[in-house]
Structures are given as C-alpha cells and as structure tokens.
C-alpha cells in the first residue's frame, strides 16, 4: 500500500464511522418522535415519471429513483408518520456531488405541509451536529456554518431576482432556470447559514400542491447547506385527477424528447384518492454526511462508488 492509499483509507474509515453514527442518530431522531421506519420495494413496474430523472431498468421493471410513491400509498392506507432510509438509482448522475446509486432519507407527516418538513429538517440537522459533538456550528470547506434555527429563507423569485438578476415569474425557461440555479443562485447563497428557497413556479410543482392563494407557485421548498442541495420538501398534492394530468404531460414529454416509455403509476393514483393532506421531504443522506465530514466529494463518504464498484 502506498502512503497515499494509506492516507485515503484512514480518512475514508473516519468518514464511514461518522456516516454510521449519523445513520444511528437519524433513526433515533425519528423513532423518538413516533415515526415508523418502513422499507418499500426497490424494483417496481411503474415509478413517478420525471423527464430529468432517468431510471435504471431491472428485468423490465424500474429501480427506485425515490421511495415517494410507496410512502404516500402508506399514508393513504392510514399511517400518519413514516420514514425510510433507502437506496435510490438515477442513471447517468455522476459527479462531485452525484453517484448513480445513493442513499435517500424520506419522511412524511399526515397533517403536515412543506414548512413543517423544513422545521423537522432544522431540528434533525441540529440534533446530528450536537450529538456528533460539533455543537450548533460546523466548519465546511473552510467556512463556519451556523446551524441554529430558523434558517435563512427566501422565495424562489426573490432568490433569482437577487442572485441571478432576473425574475423567473411563474413559468420560466427551464434551461435558463436550471443553469442559473447551479451557476449563479446556489453559489451566491449566504455561505455561513443554511438557506431554504420556497414557492417554486407551478410548472416545477412535480408532486407538490399549488399554493391556494397564489396558484402560480407550488408549495415546494429546497434546503441548501454549504453550497450543497440537501433536501426537497412538498405539501403533497392530494388531487388524483390533477396528478394524473401532470404525469400524462410528463410522460408525453419524455416520449417526445427522449423516446423513452414511462408507464403511468396507476396503483399510486388509485390510492391517492385517500391521501390525506400531508407533508413530505427527501434528503440526500450522502451529502449530509459530506457536510459533517468536511468532504469535498461524495466519493469521500461512500465505501465504494460507481467507479470503484
């Protein structure tokens, strides 16, 4: 073993130990608050059709890109508070912050909404930081980040107006919106505080409900810490007809632009008739571990990546 390999092993070992601790603390956090940990299928005949999230196939079925639809089927069946830590797969996503196979933490609250989920996230991140012995502030990539709640927050429109210099309105050009998100908006958030942006333009609602008094935007929020996109929260859309229409539009766009066949997740849509008002959130656990390990790359917090598998 070379010196460099030995050094890599020591820092990886330290990060993997910390990762295990974070998983432990996370499970205790939810268990203590009355959430039920569940496991749902990794392979499914139909998943949520999303044009920019490309699934991997397995014997004609799809590997999970998120456990979201199963979690909501359980909410529809009467479960009130659920969480899951599961592997998700997204084809072609590989970079400093991406591996095509990664770990997602999702939790749902019947009766909650997107802001409840953000409040949970604040408490979860603070709890992890304190239990790791780091207190209320962490040092990430040379910058001190104050994790105390409430986190800084602004609407998506405010964020683009202030940081990218234009108003996305209610129906922005999606290429410009996504490019400026990673090139201008995220890099210019306050580096010393977590940032929440909320109220996405309606065409980016995905599975979130539109804001009742302001239907041009959806009740969707995202959390960023240290320049990393950490979590995405919704007030869940509960109207099956509206969700079906959105899915059908997405399926048509996937076919037209990518030639890909995406089936309609019918069992989920049927269950949706009984879905109560609820909040849900998906958090990239590998990136959360990166923050607490001061890791520049996702590779530093995974035992093996797509390149070493």
Partner 1 sequence: MDISEVRKGSKVLIDGFPYNVEDAEFMKPGKGRAIYRYRLRNLVDGKSIERTYHSGDSLDPANISTREGQYLYKEGDHYIFMNTDTYDQYLIEEYKLADKAHYLKEGMIVITLFHDDKPLDITLPIFIEATVVKSDMAARTDTVTAQMKRATLETGLEIDVPTFIKEGDAIKVDTRTGAYVERIVAKK
Residues binding partner 1: number (CB under 8 A): 27
> What tokens were used for 137?
């502030």
- Burial of 118 by CB count in 10 Å (0-12 exposed, 13-18 middle, 19+ buried)? buried
Query: For partner 1, which residue of 92, 142, 212, 259 counts as binding (CB under 8 A)?
Result: 92
Instruction: Report, in Å, the least distance between residue 112 CB and partner 1.
Output: 20
Site string for partner 1, 41-70 (x = CB under 8 A): ---------x-xx-----------------
Which has the closest alpha carbon to 151: 115, 179, 186?
115
Instruction: Report, in Å, the least distance between residue 296 CB and partner 1.
Output: 13
Helix H or strand E segment including 230 = strand 228-235
The stretch near partner 1 (CB under 8 A) out of 139-147, 177-185, 237-245, 294-302 is 177-185
CB closer to partner 1, 55 vs 284: 284
Query: For partner 1, which residue of 178, 248, 266, 303 counts as binding (CB under 8 A)?
Result: 178
Q: What are phi and psi of 62, to 5 degrees?
A: -115, 140
CB closer to partner 1, 127 vs 155: 155
Query: For partner 1, which residue of 14, 28, 87, 96 counts as binding (CB under 8 A)?
Result: 96
Is cis: bond before 214, omega within 30 of 0? no
Site string for partner 1, 180-219 (x = CB under 8 A): -xxx--------------------x-x-------------
Q: How would you classify residue 133: left for phi > 0, otherwise alpha for psi between -120 and 50, otherwise beta? A: left
Calpha distance 78→72 (Å, rounded): 10
Task: Note the residue count of the chain.
Answer: 309
Which has the closest alpha carbon to 268: 240, 290, 298?
240
144 is a contact residue toward partner 1 (CB under 8 A) = no
249 is a contact residue toward partner 1 (CB under 8 A) = no
Count the alpha carbons within 13 Å of 148 in the hemisphere toward its beta carbon. Answer: 3
Which residues of the chain form contacts with partner 1 (CB under 8 A)? 50, 52-53, 92-98, 174-175, 177-179, 181-183, 204, 206, 222, 229, 232, 257-258, 282, 284
């Amino acid at each position: 073993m070379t010196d460099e390999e030995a050094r890599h092993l020591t820092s990886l070992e330290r990060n993997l130990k910390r990762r295990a601790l974070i998983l432990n603390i996370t499970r205790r956090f939810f268990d203590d608050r009355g959430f039920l940990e569940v496991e749902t299928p990794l392979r499914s005949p139909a998943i949520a059709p999303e044009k920019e999230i490309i699934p991997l196939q397995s014997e004609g079925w799809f590997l999970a890109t998120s456990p979201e639809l199963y979690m909501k089927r359980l909410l529809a069946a009467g479960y009130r508070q659920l969480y899951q830590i599961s592997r998700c797969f997204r084809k072609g996503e590989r970079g400093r912050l991406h591996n095509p196979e990664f770990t997602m933490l999702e939790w749902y609250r019947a009766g909650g909404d997107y802001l409840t989920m953000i409040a949970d996230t604040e408490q979860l991140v603070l709890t992890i930081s304190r239990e790791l012995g780091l207190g209320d502030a962490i040092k990430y990539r040379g910058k001190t980040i104050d994790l105390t709640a409430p986190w800084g927050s602004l609407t998506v429109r405010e964020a683009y107006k202030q940081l990218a210099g234009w108003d996305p309105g209610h129906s922005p050009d999606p290429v410009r919106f996504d490019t400026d998100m990673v090139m201008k908006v995220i890099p210019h958030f306050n580096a010393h505080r977590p940032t929440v942006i909320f109220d996405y333009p309606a065409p980016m609602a995905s599975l979130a409900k539109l804001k009742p008094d302001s239907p041009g935007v959806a009740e969707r929020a995202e959390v960023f810490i240290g320049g990393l996109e950490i979590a995405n929260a919704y007030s869940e859309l509960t109207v099956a007809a509206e969700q079906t229409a959105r899915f059908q539009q997405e399926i048509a766009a996937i076919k037209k632009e990518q030639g890909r066949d995406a089936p309609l997740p019918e069992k989920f849509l049927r269950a949706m008739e009984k879905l109560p008002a609820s909040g849900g959130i998906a958090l990239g656990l590998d990136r959360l571990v990166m923050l607490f390990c001061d890791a520049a790359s996702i590779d530093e917090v995974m035992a093996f990546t797509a390149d070493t598998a």
